[in-house]
Amino acid sequence: MSSSVVQTKSERTRAIIRDVALRSFRERGYDQTTIRLIAHEAGVSVGTTNYHFASKNDLVQELYLDVQQSHRAAAVPLLADSDDLVDRLGIVFRTGVAQLEPYHRYAPEFLSAAVSPRSSINPLSGESAESRDIVVGLFRDAIEGSSDKLPAEFRDDLPDALMLAHLLLALFWVYDSSAGQVRTRRLLDRGLRLLKLSLPLVRSRLLRRPLRELLDLIAEVKA
Amino acid sequence: MSSSVVQTKSERTRAIIRDVALRSFRERGYDQTTIRLIAHEAGVSVGTTNYHFASKNDLVQELYLDVQQSHRAAAVPLLADSDDLVDRLGIVFRTGVAQLEPYHRYAPEFLSAAVSPRSSINPLSGESAESRDIVVGLFRDAIEGSSDKLPAEFRDDLPDALMLAHLLLALFWVYDSSAGQVRTRRLLDRGLRLLKLSLPLVRSRLLRRPLRELLDLIAEVKA
């Protein structure tokens, strides 16, 4: 998806390089995509490519943005149809996993390149903030637009916790070799059912202390 | 730790190569350790090294075994002192994390090399079964030697689920840049406290369905 208001020649060149790179990531994966190959296919020099994108990982950030913009475009219309909290969270998770599908074949390569906390394409890195914020924002919208009102302490911490849960689900998906990754969808369905059964208990006195502990634990992971 | 009954010259050579490799992993990390370097430091040829260990990743398996044998050696005496289930699980988790400490500096390298489901040093790979089984066995011992009796459905699924939890804790630890990885220990303490508060609820009617869902979800992850 190129920008709709491409103006200067430089911007056009940048958009071409970006589109070529995104197609290459999808068709060749991470390891086999090189700046040299992208330059060749975009019909520009390696120098021009490097002028627009200093490294392959800068182009992976374009891929992340593209994936999460598609995620938002897929989730938002569906969110308009439900005010049930768990349904709404399910929409965000399901449309998120759906965006990843074209990349499953090469997912182990992307995972190896991105998993190190020192990697600029780590989903939790500063460089990845823009695409990560789209996911956090979608979970926040899912919660705020729901008719189920959560205690404030939950509401504030939940979007970040759900973004982490989404990353763990994506990790499971990388490992999922079932046809069409049906096990990932089953795991998600079970997780949502568990959440649905647990939500009415949020205010139960019996569970007040365990839930407080769970929130503190999530805050610890986020910190 | 070399084998205590080193007999033939070939076995002695193998033990030397192994010890040199383990020291190199600790001191240089994964990326900078090469078969060539190990051969040089062991005073043998590259061919001899390759005869005993076909690849660097075979030596990582020796490292995994060494770490988990030390884990068992540290956990077993402590387990003799408590029959409280959560205390016993805490012992297995804490002694497990303690074994990793010397490797924290290079942990991102090991993580990148091991995280792909196609990697032979992935902790869930067939090649890693021997060291993984030590961890599962420790969790099984912790459960079976406890005075808290769990419903059978929990008892059977729990060791594998706890091994996965231990891997997720290790993942958190790789990302933990706090001094002495104190946040990992705090996260573990919180998780154990949550478990302690939740255990009495295992038989509550209110929670029967959510817990059944949780078990099914864990079974799905394991499958």
Kindly report which listed range (A195-204, B1-10, B192-201) carries the lowest average pLDDT score: B1-10
Does residue A173 surpass a pLDDT of 60? yes
pLDDT band at B202 (very low <50, low <70, confident <90, very high): confident
C-alpha B30: how far from chain center: 17
Contact B210 A191 (CB under 8 A): no
Q: Report the pLDDT value the prediction gives residue B200, as an integer from 0 to 100.
A: 79
pLDDT band at B154 (very low <50, low <70, confident <90, very high): confident
Please provide the average confidence, as pLDDT, over all residues in chain B. Answer: 91
The whole-angstrom separation of Cα B20 and Cα B38 is: 6
Could you tell me the residue range of the domain that residue B194 belongs to?
57-222
Say if residue A35 is in the same domain as residue A71: no
> Residues A4-16: pLDDT tens digits?
565 799 999 999 9
Say if residue A119 is in the same domain as residue A182: yes
Chain B residue numbers touching A57 (CB-CB < 8 A): none
pLDDT band at A3 (very low <50, low <70, confident <90, very high): low
**Option in B174, B190, B201 nearest A206 (CB):** B201
Instruction: Count CA atoms within 13 Å of residue A102 on its CB side.
Output: 13
Say if residue A177 is in the same domain as residue A71: yes
Q: Report the pLDDT value the prediction gives residue B64, as an integer from 0 to 100.
A: 98
Q: Report the pLDDT value the prediction gives residue B151, as an integer from 0 to 100.
A: 76
Say if residue B71 is in the same domain as residue B35: no
pLDDT band at B3 (very low <50, low <70, confident <90, very high): low
Q: How far away is chain B from the Cα of A215, in angstroms, using its nearest Cα?
A: 10
Q: Report the pLDDT value the prediction gives residue A181, as an integer from 0 to 100.
A: 94
Q: How far away is chain B from the Cα of A48, in angstroms, using its nearest Cα?
A: 31
Say if residue B63 is in the same domain as residue B48: no
Say if residue B79 is in the same domain as residue B189: yes
Q: How far away is chain B from the Cα of A15, in angstroms, using its nearest Cα?
A: 31
High-pLDDT (> 70) share of chain A, %: 96
Q: Report the pLDDT value the prediction gives residue A199, as an integer from 0 to 100.
A: 81
Output the domain CATH number for residue A10: 1.10.10.60
Say if residue A213 is in the same domain as residue A153: yes
Q: Report the pLDDT value the prediction gives residue B5, as an integer from 0 to 100.
A: 65
Say if residue A104 is in the same domain as residue A210: yes
> Residues B46-99: pLDDT tens digits?
999 999 999 999 999 999 999 999 999 999 999 999 999 999 999 999 999 999
Output the domain CATH number for residue A80: 1.10.357.10
3-state secondary structure chain B: CCCCCCCCHHHHHHHHHHHHHHHHHHHHCCCCCCHHHHHHHHCCCHHHHHHHCCCHHHHHHHHHHHHHHHHHHHHHHHHCCCCCHHHHHHHHHHHHHHHHHHHHHHHHHHHHHHCCCCCCCCCCCHHHHHHHHHHHHHHHHHHHCCCCCCCHHHHHHHHHHHHHHHHHHHHHHHHCCCHHHHHHHHHHHHHHHHHHHHHHHCCCHHHHHHHHHHHHHHHHHHC
Last residue of a domain, one of B10, B33, B54: B54
Say if residue A29 is in the same domain as residue A99: no
**Option in A175, A186, A214 nearest B117 (CB):** A175
> Residues B95-140: pLDDT tens digits?
999 999 999 999 999 999 999 999 999 999 999 999 999 999 999 9
Kindly report which listed range (A26-30, A61-65, A219-223, B35-39) carries the lowest average pLDDT score: A219-223
Count of domains in chain B?
Answer: 2
Say if residue B86 is in the same domain as residue B166: yes
Work out the average pLDDT over A171-179. 94
Say if residue A61 is in the same domain as residue A5: no
First to last CA, chain A: 34
Say if residue A25 is in the same domain as residue A39: yes
What's the whole-model pTM score? 0.90
Does residue A208 surpass a pLDDT of 80? no
